[in-house]
Each structure stands twice: as C-alpha cells, then as structure tokens.
Amino acid sequence: MVKKEEYIKAVKEGMRNPEYVRNIGIIAHVHHGKTTLSDSLLAGAGLISEELAGEQLYLNYDEMEAERKLTVYSGFVTMVHEYQGQKYLVNLIDTPGHVDFSGEVTRALRAIDGVILVVDALEGVMAQTEMNLRQALIERCKPVLFINKTDRLISELKLPLEEIQKRIEKVIAKVNELIEKYAPEQFKNEWKVDVQSGKVAIGSAKNKWAISFPWMQKTGITFKKMYEMLMNDQLEELQKKCPVHEITLDMVVKHLPDPKKAQKYRIEKIWSGDVNSEIGKKMVECDPDAPLVGVVCQNRADKHAGMVSIARLFCGRATPGKTVYLISEGKETKIQQVAIYKGPDRIVIDEALGGNVVALIGLGKVSTGETISEVKDIAPFEEIKHYAEPVVTYAVDVEDPKQLVKLIEALKELQKEDNTIQVIIREDTGEYIIGCLGELHMDMIMHELKDKRGLKVKRSNPTIVYKETITKSFGPIEGKSPNKHNRFFIVVEPLEDKFKEAYESGLISDGAVTKKNEDKYRPYFEKKEDADGCIYVYKGNVLINATKGIQYFDEVKDYLIEGFKQAMDAGPLVKEPVTGVKVKIVDAVIHEDSVHRGLYQIVMATKPAIHEAMEKAGIVLLEPIKKIEIMTSMEYMSQLINELQRRRGRIENVEEEGDNIKIVAYLPVAESFNLANEIRSITAGRAVWYELFAGFQPVPREILDQVIKSIKSRKGLE
C-alpha cells in the first residue's frame, strides 16, 4: 500500500496538470456492483488491501451503509493511476443506486466530467440505470460502460459463449439507445460505447478481473480465452493477467475527458453567466491563475470540523485563509482548510487548483449548489435539478422539549446537505414536517438525527404528497386588491407537455426569466407571445405577463410573483402543491401611488383570483406513482400480480427468462407501504425488486371523493 507522504506528493503534482486529471463518478442501478468496483480500483491504486477489495466496501463507511450493505452517501476518493508511463490523478465519487438516494447522484454529477456506468450482466439495464445515465447526460458527463458480474452468466445460468456474447451486445445496444435519446445533440454519436473503441469493459468487480478490446490486443486473452479460463477454474490466473483496476482505469484515462476539455462544453450548460465574459473564459480554459470559482456539490456535517463542503473548482486556487463570496447567499467567508478525501479519511493539503474536486472547511452552513467565488458580482451556477421529488411526509418531534432548538438546527443542516429533503413548519399545529423520497430516505434522516446528532426523535406515520392541476383553460377572472385601487385580469391554462417534460428532466429550472436566459425557455412554448411574456417559473408552473403597456407593472412585478408563488404552493382544492399551470395576467389597472400598491394589496388581488380561475377551469388531483420491477421464479407470478392489482397497481409487462419472470408495474405510492414484506412473504424471500419514482397521475374517479375527504380531515379544512 502507498505511504501517506508519497500519496499526498503525487496528488499535489497531479493537480498542477489539468490534462492529467479525471473527475469521474460510478453510477448504476442498486446492487449492480458500484462500491465493489470502487474497492478494486482503490486496491489497484495502493489505497486499500488487495485481499479485502470487493469485501471491505471501503467507501460504505457509515454505520447505516454497513448494516444494510447499501450505499446511502456518496463516497469520495482521490487516487493516482499510471497509464503508458504517465501518472493521472483520478477524483472518484461512488454514488448510491437506490432511488431514495438519487439526490446524492444528481449532486455528484455537478462535480464530475465523466461516469463509469456499471450494469449487471444478468439483470441488464434497469430502471435506475436509465435514470442515472439520463441525469449524467443532461449534466454533460461522458459515459464509459463496465458490464459487471459477467461470471454469473456462466456460474448461475450456465450459458454458452455465444449466448453470453448476445447478452452483452444487448446491454451495449440498450445503453446506446439511451445515449441517443438523452445525450446533447453534438455528442450523440461520439459518446456511444462499443467494444472495439475500448469504451466497454467486461468483467467481475468482486472477483477482480476484466477484459476490454485494447487489453485483448495487448495480452492475447480473447473473450473465448476468458470463458475457457473461468470454465476451467483458472480464476487466479485470470485475475493476474487481467486486473480489473488496470483495465477500468485505462478506459477512464483514455476515453473520459480532462477538466480543460470538459469545461469547454460543460460551463455553458451549468453556469448561468456569459461564457464570453472575462471570468467565463477563465472557467472554460480552467485557468489556475484566475480568481477562484467553484460550486458546492455536497455537504457533510463533521463533529470536529463542522460543515465540510465538497466542491468542484473550475478555475483559480483554493488555499487556507482565502476570502471567497457565497454568491446566492450574498455572504463573505474564509476558507479555513483545503483537503482531499480518501474514503473515510480527510487529508489536509495546502492548495487545490481549478479542475479538481476537493473538500473545503470554513464556508459555514452553505447550501448544496452554492457558487463560491473570489469575484463578488459573478453569475451563479444553475440550480442542481433533481428528477425525483419528495412524495412522502412525516411529522417529527423530540421526546425532550429541551432538544427542540437542536432539532430545528439539525433539520436546517440536513436541508443544506441534502436538498431533496423539505422541512415545513405548520404554524397551525407547530409540527415539523419532513418531506422525503421514500421510507428508506426517512430511515436515513432518522439515523442522522438520532445516531449522529444524539436527538431523541419520534416520527408519525407517513403521509402522501398529492398535487393539483387543471386540464382546461378559464378566464379572465378579475382580482381586486382589498383597497379596491388595483385590478388584475387573470387567465389560467394547462402548461404545454413539452415544457413539463423539459422541467422534469432538468433542462429548465425555477426562477426569473430574463433577457439573458429567455432563449432557454422559448422552445418549450407553443405560442410566441407566451414565450415573450414569461417572467417566472415555479414548481413546474409559469407566470406570464400578457399585458401591453400597463403603467407601473414593473414596480409590482415582484409582488405579483409572490402572489403567484403562494397560489402555487397550496392549491384551492385541498391546499396541495400545484403543478402544470400557466397563469397569464392579461390586463391590469395599477394605482399610481406606491402606498396603495404594496405587497399585501397585490398578493390579495392575485392569489384568490388565480384560485378562482383554477376552480372554474376544473381541478384534477394527482397522486405520486412508483414504477416497480420484480424478478423472481415463475411459480410466484399469479400471487404477485394479484397483490399488485389489489394495491391498484397497473401491470405494464411480464417478461419470461427460462424459469424466471420480471414483472413491471406502476403502483400508487399511497398503496406501496409494506409492499417489501408482502413480496418477501409471497416468494419466501426469493425475489429481487426495485422501484423508481414515475411522476404523478390523476386519482381514479371512484376513490377521488374519499381521498379529498381524507386530506381535508387531516388538514382541518372541513
């Protein structure tokens, strides 16, 4: 194993040459072998024991991860790999595969330039494989492919060589289909993976071997030879001749971009500023002598160091004592320490250069996605957009009232660490409501509160988050301010599907629409006048100024936006969030005296009018849906289908593979609780299943009244 002094020296030397840096992540569906592969890569780099690699799961160092054998938090490590006589610095992030922790994946993607997509050879491309690859491509992270657990096709399925090759070709074809679908237009062909180019490695992370086409040419060990060695129990020899770490990291170095290359096309996508400005050019060039600019991608609370911010630096140098600005928060702070991660260990260094992923101590309780810069007036980086959203809420409380202040502080910290967590304080009941992605996500939150922060916390039963929308247009509705001096005429319309799809996929995000960014929104509107008048996007809804020459409109615009936001936060039917609604202000009369057009007057003129227009258009209540995939023996098929249908599940597909089946179904989140225990009971534990957030669908008419009554009763609206 490499000595600490040698390791630090190699890392510092590597940082000085961006051409020899690779910022990468490992992404995959849950249990496809990401962390096991990470172990093998770390062992090859001399950071952990080769004997323990694959079993140690070095980057799963939290108690909850070790207990559940599941990656919950992204793991960070910096290592050095030698390729063709040149040393390369590899900043690696091992991400979770479970849907409840998909926020960790999205945040990690902002920090990196390329990904190793891991796919289980037996299970193939699964639901979360697709979602994680889609997010990577949207963030302009180039992929390479590692087909893992290939030996399962031999040991478990007893497949002949030709059939194994067909399975692998099928995986590659499916991955390329997704790249064609989601990659940026200019990279759809260049980023596709194939065996001949060396962008695909095939092997077993646990058994520490792999092969690729360049390696076959180098060693003479063909696919057929690999098959024969496995059939003849020559695993040890295969491990020595085809070490998984060398094949995989060679593929990374050769095919994934260095930061100088990647930032040329990534900055224009992830930064809201002008790439032709002076600081924009510095970032594009990854200039180490420029002012420091970076973005916080992850936050970790540390009982000794306080909040540790993991950041991607795009230009400049991070050094202890350097003053930086937190752009979105409008604050000034100082970097106290600069460090790199080696799994659970944080190693302090004296300097980090642009183009690297590092840990910064001293920024304080900064939010994920925050822009850090030595330049005060720089534009911020784009919001980190998650495709999954909180669909389950829990009320939490402390057993000891003396711990209430600590609970509030802890919840604020958790929100900054994980922006898929929502915390709401209900003023009418004093309850603290946590919105999360699912049961496992809430288990992680409770683990953070109880085990890490020592709070005695109790939680309620889960509550589902519904949404309200409209399917027809209505208006104009006149809204008057309480003082009768201001009038607004409002129309509501369903938002275009292509706008909703772009919003859900992260192509567009919340915030003001300005002259600088309006072109980004324009393609998703059907009418030019809607695109021209769009002034704000909020939670999948848009506010449009369709007026002409109204005096004082700009002076009250911020107040109109506030009224719009309040109307969208709690709809008129059951006070659930609104989605997919276009709100147009088509005419207005605004008082000339600012005293008579304050915030309260404008909000009370617009919010009730928006709700009245929605009610007259006809409100639809939407419920969150999960996509469920269950793999098990054929004998359990009918019982599983009956159980899913009993829970209002819609069976999408049933695929047969020999004696096994894969059931694909869509299931309301409200009906999914305790499903895991039912599946185990029906199959006697002989099933593998996965779930994925699949958006919102209308509540069926036959149970709509019952659901509305239940929500109103819970909220005290009756």
Q: What is the pLDDT of residue 321?
A: 94
Give me the residue label for tokens 């000794």.
304
Is residue 53 over pLDDT 80?
no
The answer to whether position 381 is within a domain reads: no
**pLDDT, tens digit (0-9, with 9 covering 90-100), for 227-238:** 999 888 899 999
Predicted confidence (pLDDT) at residue 55 exceeds the cutoff of 80: no
> Is a pLDDT exceeding 70 seen at residue 685?
yes
CB distance 624 to 696 below 8 Å: yes
- SS3 for 72-100, per residue? CCCEEEEEEEEECCEEEEEEEEECCCCHH
Does the residue 66 lie in any domain?
A: yes
pLDDT in tens, 183-195: 999 999 999 999 9
> Side-chain half-sphere of 678: how many Cα atoms within 13 Å?
14
Q: Which residues of 226-258 are buried (b: 16+ CB within 10 A; e: fewer)?
A: bbebbeeeeeeebbebbbbbbbbbbbbbebbbb
Number of domains the chain is built from: 5
Q: What percent of the chain has pLDDT over 70?
A: 93
pLDDT in tens, 250-306: 999 999 999 999 999 999 988 988 899 999 999 999 999 999 999 999 888 777 777
> Binning pLDDT at 50, 70 and 90, where does residue 1 land?
low
Helix axes 244-255, 34-44, angle to 10 degrees: 90
The phi and psi torsions of 538 (rounded to 5 degrees) equal -150, 115
Interhelix angle 637-646/675-683, nearest 10 degrees = 160
pLDDT of 57 higher than 60: no
The answer on 227 and 90 residing in a single domain is yes
Query: How high is the pLDDT of residue 517?
Result: 79
Of the candidates 369, 380, 372, 379, the residue with the CA atom closest to the CA atom of residue 324: 372
In a domain, 382, yes or no: no
- Sign, CA torsion 499/504/510/515: negative
How far is 180 from 475, CA to CA, in rounded Å? Answer: 42
Residues 163 and 108 in one domain: yes
- Residue 387 inside a domain? The answer is no
Cα-Cα-Cα-Cα torsion 666, 669, 673, 676, nearest 10 degrees, comes to: 30
> Residue 56: what pLDDT?
46
- Name residues whose C-beta falls within 8 Å of residue 56's C-beta, 6 or more positions apart in sequence: 39, 48, 49
CATH number of the CATH domain containing 52: 3.40.50.300
pLDDT band for 2, please (50, 70, 90 cuts).
low
Asked whether residue 476 is domain-assigned, the answer is: yes
Taking the C-alpha atoms of residue 21 and residue 43, their distance in angstroms, rounded to an integer, is 19
In a shared domain, residues 576 and 710 = no
Whether the per-residue pLDDT at 655 is higher than 80: the answer is: yes
Q: Say whether both 52 and 197 belong to one domain.
A: yes
The yes-or-no verdict on residue 449 having pLDDT over 60 is yes
pLDDT of residue 72: 66
Query: 656 and 608 share a domain?
Result: no
Residue 624 has pLDDT above 60, yes or no: yes
Whether the pLDDT of residue 58 is over 60: the answer is no
**Torsions phi, psi for 416 (to 5 deg):** -70, -35
Closest to 563 measured CA to CA, from 611, 517, 595, 522? 611
pLDDT digits (tens, 9 = 90+) for 114-144: 999 999 998 888 878 888 898 899 899 999 9
Are residues 508 and 645 both part of a single domain?
Answer: no
Structural tokens at position 158: 């007893």
Provide the token pair at 429.
């009941």
Is residue 410 one of the residues assigned to a domain? yes
- Of 465, 495, 528, the residue at which a domain comes to its end is 465
Question: How far is residue 284's CA from residue 268's CA, in Å, rounded to a whole number?
Answer: 9
What tokens does 29 get?
């569906």
Tokens of 713: 């009763």
- Residue 505 CB: number of other CB atoms within 10 A? 14
Q: Tell me the pLDDT of the chain averaged across its residues.
A: 88
Between the alpha carbon of residue 218 and those of residues 40, 357, 583, the distances in Å are: 21, 33, 63
CATH label of the domain that carries residue 289: 2.40.30.10
Same domain, 241 and 92: yes
CATH number at residue 426: 3.30.70.870
Rounded to the nearest 10°, the torsion over CA 161, 166, 168, 171 is: -160
* Residue 155 in domain: yes
More confident site: 44 or 564: 564
220 and 284 in a common domain: no
Q: Which domain holds residue 631?
A: 622-715
Q: Of the candidates 429, 392, 390, 712, which has an alpha carbon nearest to the alpha carbon of residue 574?
A: 712
Percent of the chain with pLDDT over 90: 51
Encode pLDDT of 357-398 as tens digits.
Answer: 999 999 888 888 899 999 988 999 888 776 667 888 888 888
Same domain, 42 and 121: yes
Give yes or no: residues 50 and 161 share one domain.
yes
Task: Tell me which residue of 488, 530, 465 sits closest to 670, measured CA to CA.
Answer: 465
> Can you list the pairs that 6-12 forms with residues at least 24 positions away whose Cβ atoms lie under 8 Å?
7/47, 7/80, 7/342, 7/347, 8/347, 8/349, 10/80, 10/87, 10/89, 11/78, 11/80, 11/89, 11/340, 11/349, 12/349, 12/351
Which pLDDT score is estimated for 427?
Answer: 60
Q: Which of the two residues, 65 and 590, has the higher pLDDT score?
A: 590
- Residue at a domain's end among 227, 261, 295: 261
Before 243, cis peptide (omega within 30)?
no
User: Within a domain: residue 325?
Assistant: yes
* pLDDT value at residue 179: 96
pLDDT category, 689, cuts 50, 70, 90?
confident
Q: What pTM did the predictor assign?
A: 0.79
Whether the CB-CB separation of 386 and 377 falls below 8 Å is answered with: no
Question: Please, what is the angle between helix 102-111 and helix 127-138, to 10°?
Answer: 30
Instruction: Give CA–CA dist 272/512, Å, rounded.
Output: 12
Q: List, for residues 86-104, the tens digit of each pLDDT value.
A: 999 999 988 876 767 677 8
Identify the domain boundary among 373, 406, 441. Answer: 373
Question: What are the backbone dihedrals phi and psi of residue 487, each rounded to the nearest 5 degrees, phi first?
Answer: -135, 140
Please report how the helices 161-182 and 127-138 are oriented relative to each other, as an axis angle in degrees rounded to 10: 40
Q: Are residues 540 and 637 in the same domain?
A: no
Question: Do residue 65 and residue 209 come from a single domain?
Answer: yes
Q: What's the confidence (pLDDT) of residue 294? A: 95
